Amino acid sequence: MRLSGKRVIALVDEEFEDLELWYPVHRVREEGAEVHLVGDKAGKTYIGKYGVPATSDYAFEDIDAGTYDGVLVPGGWAPDKLRRYEGVLSIIRGMDKAGKPIGQICHAGWVLISAKILQGRTVTSTPGIRDDMENAGATWLDQEVVVDGHLVSARRPPDLPAYGKAFCDKLAEG
């Protein structure tokens, strides 16, 4: 259990991509980390794009992100909502400043764009937001997973095995 004692935030909002939330959450948990789902309200049940529910443990303002070791941002349409919360942007900026692992997949890059942390970074995402990522100052690669320092990014659900492993590897380093 190489991630025992590690704590991870998994951000959630309506219409998250079901696999892109739950696969990394389960992958990190099976290595021993504690994962908390964090949304705009504590105890709220959010529904994924394909109907899978996720109930938040905490609200953004209820947590001290400094007590966590990493953050996972799912794709789907949730990132377009998540990027509008200052609490989310604060979590992402704090994790970035502390050099803690930030995992993002598919459309989750929108959250990192709004947090303004992509300048000079190398990432991937769904090809649909490639221009957005590049316009935010990132170098975009068409690869299943890209690791740049503490940023771990992936394109879409078929990339989940490589993404889950890369995120766990990065979390184990800290």
Phi, psi of 171 (to 5 degrees): -65, -35
Would you give the DSSP letter of residue 44? P
Enzyme catalytic residues: 107
Per the structure block, which two tokens stand in for 150?
């503490």
d(CA 76, CA 73): 10
d(CA 155, CA 146): 9
